[in-house]
Amino acid sequence: MANVSQIEHSLLSHHMTRIRDVKSDTLVFRQSIQVIGELLAYETLRTLDTKSEPIHTPLAAHDGRSVCERVALVPILRAGLALVDPFIRMLPHASVLHLGMYRDEKTTTPVWYYNKLDEDLTDITAFVLDPMLATGGSLIAAIDELKSRGAGRIRVASIIAAPEGIDAVTGAHPDVEINVCEVDSHLNDAAFIVPGLGDAGDRYFGTAQ
């Protein structure tokens, strides 16, 4: 699939199994999400632009490299918050801009309740963090909003995606790169990912499902 990258790693497979398992409690789920998030961040951030940075080591002058893009992490509340810390550990100077949406269970369309984006994002590289790419409705709405504020380079980081959601996002925004850990079989009649892992937000935050 164009502009879609799927990560392959033995540790990723191990921890993906942990978060899918219905027997995994909140502690195990959180621990595995953090490992998965770091692997996802490592791959998603690998092509950031760098610039020359002359420095001195304890022994000699050295021409190093440093990231020169202004990066904003954009978690879609609330499940997207689970990926913020792993990305911040990889890129501590990134800013964090929040978007709040929930899915109307009857229509499966996103409903906005919070928007904390900067008005002008013209010089920002935005990484939209959403663990579950199901129908793609929330991601498309988020990308629309980012582009309306001038963001030119946008990438998506998801843990699990359904083919239907990938098709929807790439169809609406073919210029946006998607990094995903695993692509599942399909959406069921209620628009939940199968086999999936249940509700990522409920399982990560330990709330009733």
Residue numbers annotated as active site: 103, 107, 199, 202
| 3-state secondary structure at position 132 | strand
Cβ contact 95:71 at 8 Å: yes
What's the CA angle centered on 122, arms 119 and 124, to 5 degrees? 95
Cβ contact 32:18 at 8 Å: yes
Please write down the HEC assignment for all residues of 52-91: EEEEECCCCEEEEEEECCEEEEEEEECHHHHHHHHHHHHC
Of residues 17, 59, 2, 1, the one with CA closest to residue 159: 17
